Amino acid sequence: MPVIRVNGVGLYYELAGAGDPLVLVHGSWSDHGTWAAVLPALAERYRVLVYDRRGHSRSERPAGQGTRTEDEQDLAALTEALDLAPTHVVGSSFGGSTALGLAARRPELFRSIAVHEPPLMGIVGEDPDLEPLVRAMAEKLESVFAHLRAGEDLAGARQFVEEVAFGPGVWDQLPEELRETVLANAPTFLDEQADPGWSFVDLAGLSGYPGPALLTNGTESPPWFAAIISRLAETLPRAEVATFRGAGHVPHVSHPEEYVRSLTGFLDAA
């Protein structure tokens, strides 16, 4: 099992394909397996790295409160240790927040950046049109946290999937293996959300990021994601925005062919 120790933690990783380097950073609750539907097509053109972020699945789970900055430092150390930098970096959800946070501080590590729906609600928190929606979402998240703090991981995971991320009935439709992954990583989600800076990013730092950036959202996702993408597009000098019609928070899972077309088109241009 390939594990590399960087930034004080053992991270599980896999490399596939050949060509320019491309790093895929997964979101909360999941692991490297979330990229399974798009990895073969991407590996035909790129040297692709997937890995489990700290606290997820096969990677080490350090004790104590963690921060997203640690995930950013892990990403930097991993790309450097495997001699991939500068690299294209793709991030989904919290993985997108991680990639953007690192790009604001270490732009020299990136060839390009592509993120889908990073949950950076802190950067749109003053939008009066979104305030009721964000408040309602925060209340649902607090209920999820209460379940997880009480050790009720199944109840918390089901509520997150059905009331925050996707929709009613989705939990029972998930493959058993995916449900097991979500449950295994539930404690790390609680840890991530306890970081006071999890929903923010250094916009001033991002404004100095010189590389191309692809920002995407799905039409079936909550409306605050479109607002976050718009705010980021105003900040990143070379940003382009794309929307996945009929898709939600994980288009690389639900619409893999469209996702690969969009991403490779951007990377070719970059």
**Residue 150 confidence (pLDDT):** 96
What would the mean pLDDT of 15-34 be, rounded to a whole number? 98
Please give the distance of CA 33 from its chain centroid, rounded to a whole number: 13
Query: Quick one: 148 and 187 in the same domain?
Result: yes
pLDDT tens-digit series, residues 26-37: 999 999 999 999
- Give the other-Cβ count within 10 Å of 173's Cβ: 11
pLDDT band at 137 (very low <50, low <70, confident <90, very high): confident
Looking at the structure, tell me whether residues 29 and 98 fall in a common domain: yes
- Check whether residue 44 and residue 27 sit in a common domain: yes
* Domain co-membership, 50 together with 183: no
CB 59 within 8 A of CB 2: no
Structure tokens at 98: 């991680």
Q: In the chain, pLDDT over 90 holds for what percent of residues?
A: 88
In this prediction, residue 114 carries a pLDDT of 98
* pLDDT tens, position by position, 65-113: 789 999 999 999 999 999 999 999 999 999 999 999 999 999 999 999 9
Q: Look up the pTM and report it.
A: 0.96
Report the chain's C-alpha Rg in angstroms.
17
Sheet containing 110-116: order of strands: 3-6, 9-16, 46-51, 20-25, 87-92, 110-116, 213-218, 239-244
In the predicted structure, residue 1 carries a pLDDT above the cut 80: no
- What pLDDT, on a 0 to 100 scale, did the predictor assign at position 135? 84
Q: What is the mean pLDDT of residues 221-241?
A: 95
Q: Looking at the structure, do residues 117 and 205 belong to the same domain, yes or no?
A: yes
From residue 234, give the alpha-carbon distance in Å to each of 215, 230, 250, 259: 11, 6, 24, 23
Q: What pLDDT, on a 0 to 100 scale, did the predictor assign at position 146?
A: 96
Based on the fold, state whether residues 185 and 204 are members of the same structural domain: no
Q: How buried is 128 (Cβ within 10 angstroms: 0-12 exposed, 13-18 middle, 19+ buried)?
A: exposed
What mean pLDDT is predicted for residues 253-269? Answer: 97
Over the stretch 185-211, which tens digit does the pLDDT of each residue have? 999 999 999 999 999 999 999 999 999
Report whether pLDDT(64) > 80.
no
CATH number for position 8? 3.40.50.1820
Q: What is the pLDDT of residues 205-225, one digit of tens each?
A: 999 999 999 999 999 998 889
247 close to 255: Cβ distance less than 8 angstroms: yes
Q: What is the mean pLDDT of the chain?
A: 95
Q: Are 81 and 148 members of one domain? A: no
- State the Cα–Cα distance between residues 5 and 81, nearest whole angstrom: 9
Quick check: 118 and 94 in contact, CB under 8 A? yes
User: How large is the greatest C-alpha to C-alpha distance in the chain, in angstroms?
Assistant: 49
* Position 38 pLDDT exceeds 80: yes
Q: Same domain for 154 and 50?
A: no
Tokens of 162: 């059905």
Asked if 216 and 207 touch (Cβ cutoff 8 Å), the reply is: no
In the numeric block, the tokens 């320019």 are attached to 20
How many domains does one find in the chain? Answer: 2
Range of the domain at 151: 131-192
- One domain, residues 53 and 113: yes
* Final residue before a domain boundary, out of 176, 192, 208: 192
Last residue of a domain, one of 192, 223, 238: 192
From 192, 215, 230, give the residue that closes a domain: 192
Q: Are residues 111 and 227 in the same domain?
A: yes
Tokens of 179: 């449900």
Query: CB atoms < 10 A from the CB of 99, how many?
Result: 27
The model's pLDDT over 96-107, given as tens digits with 9 standing for 90+, comes to 999 999 999 999
Quote the pLDDT of residue 244: 98
Q: What residues contact residue 160 under an 8 Å CB cut-off, 6+ apart?
A: 29, 141, 144, 189
